[in-house]
Structure 1
Amino acid sequence: MTEGRRATLKDVAAASGVSRATVSFVLNETPNQTISEATRKRVLRVVRELGYRPHGIARALREGASRIVVLFIASGLEGNYSRSYVRGLDEELAANGHVLMVRHGPTGPDAAKQVLDAINPRAVLRFGEVYQTGHELDDLGGGWRDGLAAHTALQIGHLAEHGHTAIALALPAEAPLAEVRLGFAQQAARSCGLPPLRSLVVPRPREAGAAAVAEFRRTAPEVTAVAAHDDDVALRTLTALRDLDVAVPGECAVIGFDDTEYGALFTPPLTTVHIDAEAHGRVAAREALGLDTAGLVPAPARVLVRRTV
C-alpha cells in the first residue's frame, strides 16, 4: 500500500487472503455466515495493522443514513447545563460508533433541511425542544422530579428557606425559555406559600441594566430577593445593585442559575443552582439510537451556597 494512502476494504482483503465480502461480513458482524474464528481474528488483526476505517459515505449509503447525530442549540441556551448535556451526548454516541455535530444558532425548518440534505444524519435533536412545544413537563425526569421545573423550584425554595417572601424573577430582554421559567417560578412560589413573583427585565448594556433595576426598586420596594434566569442575568443584576449602592445580600439577595465559572469570581461570589445534565445527554443519545436507557440516573441539582443570599 502506498505510504500515506488510506487503507481500503480491498487492501484488508488482500492482506488477509480473503474476499472483500468476507471482510465486510466480519466488520459488520453479519449473522448466518460460516466464517471460522481463525479467519475472523486474522481479518481484525489486519484491520488494526493497516489502520483501516470504514468510509463514512459508503456506510451511509449502505445503512440509509450517516452515523452523525446533529444537535441544534438556540442562542441563549448555552450554559453549564448545555455543556454537560453535550458532554454526555457526545460520549454516549461515540461509545456506540456515532459522531455528534453541534450547531449553534437558528434551529428552524430551513436550518434542519440544510443539514438533512448535506449529511443525512442518523438523528436531529433540538436542545430544550420539549420546553418550546408546550410539553414542558414531559422532559427527562418528569419535569418536577428532575427537569427545569424542579431546578427552578430549588432556586425559589432556597430563597424562601432564607425568609424571603417578596421575590422577583430577573429575565434577559430576550430568552427562548423566559416564559416557561416564569411559569415554573410562579408555581414554585405558590407551593412555598409565597405571593406571586414580580418579573424584572435586566437589559444590556450596564447603564440600561442599572436604570431598569433602579426603576424596579422604586416601584417594588418590598422585594428583598431576586432569582435570576441564569448566571449572566444574575451578574448583570449584581452589577446594577452595586452601581446603585445597594448592599448584597443585606438589602437584596440574588441567586443565579446554571453555574457559570464567572459567578465564583464576582464580588461577592454568586450563590447559584448547579445542574449536571450529563445523564440527560446520555439518555438522549440512547433514545436517538434506539437503545435501552435503563440505569442512567441524573445527578441531583444543588445550590452552590456562596455570599449573595
Structure 2
Amino acid sequence: MAEASGVSRATVSFVLNDDPRQTISAATRERVRDAARELGYVPHGIARALREGSSRVVVLHADRGLEGGFSRSYVRGLDEELAEHGHLLLVRHGHALPEATRQVLDTIVPRAVLRLGEVSVRGHEPVGQDGENGFAAGAALQIGHLADRGHTRIAMALPDHDVPSADARFGFAREAARRLGLPPLERLVVPGPREAGAAAVEEFLASHADVTALAAFDDDIALRSLAALRDLGRRVPEDMAVIGFDETEHGSLATPALTTVHLDAEALGRVAARNVLGVDTAGPAPAPVRIVVRASV
C-alpha cells in the first residue's frame, strides 16, 4: 500500500489509524485511502487491538428511563463522530448484571466505556465548559420560564421507576428555584397507567392546592401529567401549567401542545466522542439550551 500511494509505511500507518498526533496533508491522506480501496484493504481488528492495547469499540451504557429524544440524538452524534475516526459504538440498554458487563468488556477490550446517565448527573457535558448546554442549565431554564409567568409554587413531576438521574435532575431544579427565591419544589411521582396517574395527581393536588405549575422530568412524564389533569377536569394552562424537558415530537402533538426544553444532544455526543479519542474538540459548540414555547404554560 505504501508503494501504491508513494509514501512511507509509517505514513500509511498514521493515515489508516487516523493518528491525531500526526500532521499529514489532506491530499496525502486521500492518496493512501484511495490505494487502500483499490487494494481491498481490510483492517485486522484483533491484531490491531493487540498492538494498541484496546479495540476500536466504545461501549455506551444507556440506563433505563433515558430513552427519550436526548438519548437518541446523543447516541447519533457519538456514533457518527466515532465512525469518522474509525471507531465503532456499542450501546447497551437497561440494567446489566456485573458478570455480563465484565464478560462483554473482557471480550471486546473497548477503547472506553461511557454511561449515558452520568451526563445528566454531572449537569453538563463535557466537564469544564460554561454549563449553558446541559441538564443543569436546562433545569434552570425550565424553572425560570415558569417563574417568569408568575408561578411560585411549583412541583416537579417525576417517573415512578428507578432512573439514576432523577435525583440529580430534581436537585438541579430545586437549586434553580432557590436562586430565584421561590419556595422549595414539591415532588410528584406520576405513574404510567393512566388511571394510576390521575389518582396520584388528584391525591397530590388535594394536599398541595397552592401548586400552579408542574415541571416534568421529561416530555413523557409531562404527557402523563397532561392526561391526568384532563381526566380530572383541570384546564391547562389555566388551572395548571405544565412544561416538559427533552423535546420530542409527541409533545407537539398533544392538546394543548407541550412547552418544553430543548438540548443540543447530538453536538454533546460528538464532543464526548472527541474527548474519548483524545482528538481536538474544536468545532461547532453545542448550542445553549432553549425553551420551545407552545401552549401548555
TM bracket, shorter-chain basis? 0.7 to 0.9
Number of residue pairs matched?
A: 284
Find the aligned partners of 2:254 and 2:85 in 1 and give their Cα distance.
41
Please name the residue that 1:77 is paired with: 66
CA RMSD, aligned part only?
2.8
- For the pair 1:155 / 2:142, whether they are aligned, the reply is yes
On the 8 A contact 1:80/1:275 being kept in 2, the answer is: no
Give 3-state SS (helix, strand or coil) of 2:222's partner: helix
On the 8 A contact 1:84/1:277 being kept in 2, the answer is: yes
Q: CA deviation at 1:285?
A: 0.9
On the 8 A contact 1:140/1:147 being kept in 2, the answer is: no
Q: CA deviation at 1:214?
A: 0.6
Q: CA deviation at 1:88?
A: 1.7
Give 3-state SS (helix, strand or coil) of 1:28's partner: helix
Please name the residue that 2:95 is paired with: 106
Please name the residue that 1:236 is paired with: 224
Please name the residue that 1:265 is paired with: 253
Q: Could you list the per-position Cα deviations for residues 125-148 of structure 1 after superposition, in whole angstroms to 9, with x for gaps in the alignment?
A: 11132555xx55785455753321
Find the aligned partners of 1:190 and 1:44 in 2 and give their Cα distance.
56
Seen in structure 2, the aligned counterparts of structure 1 residues 259 and 53 have a Cα distance that, compared at 3 Å, is same
On the 8 A contact 2:120/2:134 being kept in 1, the answer is: no
Q: Could you list the per-position Cα deviations for residues 228-279 of structure 1 after superposition, in whole angstroms to 9, with x for gaps in the alignment?
A: 0001110000000011111111110100000111111111111111111222
Q: Could you list the per-position Cα deviations for residues 157-207 of structure 1 after superposition, in whole angstroms to 9, with x for gaps in the alignment?
A: 000011111111000112221111111111111111211111101012111
Find the aligned partners of 1:107 and 1:255 in 2 and give their Cα distance.
32
Please name the residue that 2:22 is paired with: none
The percent of aligned pairs where both chains have the same amino acid is: 61
Please name the residue that 2:156 is paired with: 169
Higher relative contact order (CA 8 A, sep 6+): 2
Seen in structure 2, the aligned counterparts of structure 1 residues 130 and 270 have a Cα distance that, compared at 3 Å, is closer
- For the pair 1:196 / 2:181, whether they are aligned, the reply is no
Give 3-state SS (helix, strand or coil) of 2:296's partner: coil
Range moving further from structure 2, 261-270 or 103-112: 103-112
- For the pair 1:220 / 2:205, whether they are aligned, the reply is no
Please name the residue that 1:96 is paired with: 85
- For the pair 1:60 / 2:49, whether they are aligned, the reply is yes
On the 8 A contact 1:74/1:107 being kept in 2, the answer is: no
Q: Name the aligned partner's letter for residue 205 of structure 1.
A: P
Range moving further from structure 2, 79-88 or 250-259: 79-88
Please name the residue that 1:5 is paired with: none
Larger radius of gyration: 1
Find the aligned partners of 1:239 and 1:173 in 2 and give their Cα distance.
16
Seen in structure 2, the aligned counterparts of structure 1 residues 187 and 276 have a Cα distance that, compared at 3 Å, is same
- For the pair 1:247 / 2:235, whether they are aligned, the reply is yes
TM-score between the two structures when normalised by the length of structure 1: 0.83
On the 8 A contact 1:23/1:43 being kept in 2, the answer is: no
Please name the residue that 1:145 is paired with: 132
On the 8 A contact 1:141/1:147 being kept in 2, the answer is: no
- For the pair 1:27 / 2:12, whether they are aligned, the reply is yes
Find the aligned partners of 2:186 and 2:228 in 1 and give their Cα distance.
18
Find the aligned partners of 1:186 and 1:211 in 2 and give their Cα distance.
25
Find the aligned partners of 1:106 and 1:249 in 2 and give their Cα distance.
37
Match of 1:286 among 259, 266, 274: 274
Range moving further from structure 2, 223-232 or 110-119: 110-119
Seen in structure 2, the aligned counterparts of structure 1 residues 177 and 43 have a Cα distance that, compared at 3 Å, is closer
On the 8 A contact 1:209/1:236 being kept in 2, the answer is: yes
Gap runs ≥5 in structure 1 = 1-11, 32-39
Q: Name the aligned partner's letter for residue 66 of structure 1.
A: S
Range moving further from structure 2, 136-145 or 92-101: 136-145
On the 8 A contact 2:141/2:291 being kept in 1, the answer is: yes
On the 8 A contact 1:140/1:280 being kept in 2, the answer is: no
Q: Spell out the pairing of 1:116-155 with structure 2 (5 A cutoff).
A: 116-129=105-118, 140=127, 142=129, 144-155=131-142
Give 3-state SS (helix, strand or coil) of 1:169's partner: strand
